[in-house]
Amino acid sequence: MAQKANTHPNKITFRTLFVKGDLPTKLSFFLMGTANLCNKQIPKGLIFLLSELLFFFWLIRNGVTALAMLQTLGTKKQGLMFDEKLGIEVLQKGDNSMLILLFGIAAILTCALMIYLYVINLKSARKLYVLKQENKPIPTTLDDLKSLLNERFHATLMTIPLLGVLLFTILPLLYMISIAFTNYDHNHLPPKQLFTWVAFKNFGNVITGDMASTFFPVLIWTLIWAVLATVTCFIFGVILALLINTKGIKGKKIWRTLFVLTMAVPQFVSLLIMRNLLNDAGPINSTLLNLGWIHSAIPFLTDPTWAKVSIIFVNMWIGIPVTMIITTGILQNLPTDQIEAARIDGANSFQIFRSITFPQILFVMMPSLIQQLVGNINNFNVIYLLTGGGPTNSNFYGAGNTDLLVTWLYKLTVDTMDYNLASVIGILIFILSAIFSLAAYTRTNSFKEG
C-alpha cells in the first residue's frame, strides 16, 4: 500500500519525472505528446504535438511581433508623406494602437493557454510513467473516449463554454481594464493618433486630480440614490403587501393584479411616459397651472433637487410591486403557530409585526436587498431615460446633476470619447460593488445560518 501511495501521479514531481523517466517521457518535455505516441495513444499524442507545432508557427510569424508591440502600442503615426515617384503627398498608414493592444492581450492569453496545455501534456506523461511502473494496462484511445463521456463528462461538457468565456468575456474584460492604464482619450483616437501606457496616472487624475471635483459628487449621489431607491421600494413594498394581505380586505387578487401590471409594461416605456408627464410643459404642470394651484411650472426634471426627488419617486412606482410580490410569498408561508401563540400571550398587531413578521421578511429578503442595492448602483435605465443625467452642471466634466457613475461612464465613452477615464470609472464601480456585496452578504443571518 505504501509503495502504491508513493507512485501516485500527484506524488511525483515533474523534476523527478524528467530525471527517472524513460526517453519518451523525457522527450515530452520538449515535444509534446511523445509519451502518448510511444504508448500507442496516437490521437491524443497528435493533438498535443500539432498544438505545439501550430503554437510555435504562430509565435514566430505573429506572436513575437504582437507581444513586442504591446510594449509601445505602436510608433508609426498615420499621415501624409511625399511620394517622390508620384510627386504628390500620399496617405501613409500608421500603427493602430487599439488593434495592437487587442492582439497583444490575445497573444498573452494564447501563451497562457499553451502553458496550460503543456502542463496537461506533462501530467499525461506522468500518468503513463506510473502505470508502466506498476505494470498496469495503458488506456487506449477508446478507453479515453469512454472516460470523457462518462466519469469526466463534466470536463467535456464545459470545454466549449470555457472557450466562449475566454474569447467573449475574459478577452474583452482584460482589454477594457488595460485601457485604464493608457491615454486613450479624445486627443489620442486611433487610427489617426497613437496612444500609449501611462501607468496609474488616470486613477490619480480621477481620485485626486482634475476629475476628483466630478468623481466624488457623482459617487456620493450614486450611493445616496442606491440606498434610498432600495430602502423606499422595500419599505413601501412590505407595507403594500401587508395591507393587501390584511384580513377583511376584499378583492385581494384584483389589487395584486393591478400592481403587477406595472411590471408587465416594459420599463423603458414607463420611464418615457413619466418623463413626458413630468416635463415643464407636460400634463401634470399644465393641469396644475389651469387649476391655478401653481403660478409657474414645477421643474420636476430641470432643477437638481426636484430631479433627484422625482427620480426616487418614479423608481418607487417601478420597484414597489416587485417587493410586494416577494413579501406576499413570504407572508403566505409564515409559521402561523408562532403568530397565534403571540396573540394568546397578548401581543398586538404591531408587536407581532416587529418581533415575528418583519424579522422573517428581512431574513429571507436580505440577499435580494443586497442584490437590489448593487443593481441600483448600476441602474442605467431609470437615470438615463428619465433625466438623461441632467440638469447639466458646468462644474462637472461630462456629467450632470443626476448622473450616476454608470451613466457618467457612458457619457465619457459616447460624448467625450475619453475611454481611459471611462475604463477607470468602470473598474472603480466594480471594486465598490464587489467589496460592498461581499462585506454585506457575509454579515447577514441568511449567510451565517445557511
Same-domain status, 302 and 376: yes
pLDDT reported for residue 4: 43
Rounded to two decimals, the pTM is 0.85
Q: How many whole angstroms separate alpha carbon 98 and alpha carbon 376?
A: 32
In which domain, by residue range, is 183 found?
14-198
Domain match, 394 and 360 both: yes
Q: Please give the radius of gyration of the chain, using alpha carbons only, rounded to the nearest integer.
A: 32
With respect to residue 7, please indicate whether it lies within any of the assigned structural domains.
no
Domain closes at, from 173, 198, 223: 198
| Residue 233 and residue 375 in contact, taking contact as beta carbons nearer than 8 Å | no
Q: Are residues 307 and 415 in the same domain?
A: yes
Region for 218 from its dihedrals, namely left if φ exceeds 0, alpha if ψ lies in -120 to 50, beta otherwise: alpha
Place of cell 505573429: 62
Structural domain contains residue 6: no
2 in a structural domain: no
| Neighbour-count burial of 187, counting CB atoms closer than 10 A to its CB (0-12 exposed, 13-18 middle, 19+ buried) | exposed
Same domain flag for 235 and 333: yes
Bridge partners of 436? Answer: none
Let me know if residue 5 belongs to a domain.
no
The CATH number of residue 220's host domain is: 1.10.3720.10
Same domain, 167 and 243: no
Q: Which of 198, 218, 253 is the last residue of a domain?
A: 198
Task: Using 70 as the pLDDT threshold, list the residues of the chain that sit under it.
Answer: 1-10, 79-91, 148, 152-156, 444-450
Tell me: do 335 and 224 sit in the same domain: yes
Is residue 201 within 8 A of residue 424, CB to CB? The reply is no
Note whether residue 236 is domain-resident: yes
What total of structural domains would you count in the chain?
2
14, three cell numbers: 515533474
Name residue 92's beta-bridge partners. Answer: 79
Q: End of a domain among 198, 230, 258?
A: 198
Residue corresponding to grid cell 515617384: 85
What the block records as the C-alpha cell of 209 is 486630480
Would you say residue 380 lies in a domain? Answer: yes
SS3 182: strand
Residue 101 lies in a domain: yes
Whether 220 and 368 map to the same domain: the answer is: yes
pLDDT of the residue at 120? 93
Same domain flag for 338 and 394? yes
Q: Identify whether residues 191 and 211 lie together within a single domain.
A: no
Do 231 and 194 sit in the same domain of this protein? no
Does one domain contain both 147 and 208?
no
Alpha helices (runs of H) in 245-357, residue ranges in sequence order: 252-264, 267-277, 283-291, 304-331, 336-344, 349-352
Q: Which three cell numbers stand for residue 259?
A: 400592481
Taking the CA atoms of residue 81, residue 83, residue 89 and residue 92 in that order, the dihedral angle to the nearest 10 degrees is -40
In a domain, 140, yes or no: yes
- CB-based contact 354:437 (threshold 8 Å): no
Distance CA 76, CA 60 (A): 22
Q: Examine the domain organization and report whether 269 and 402 are in the same domain.
A: yes
Q: pLDDT value at position 196? A: 95
- DSSP letters along 393-432, please? -TTSSS-BTT--HHHHHHHHHHTS--HHHHHHHHHHHHHH
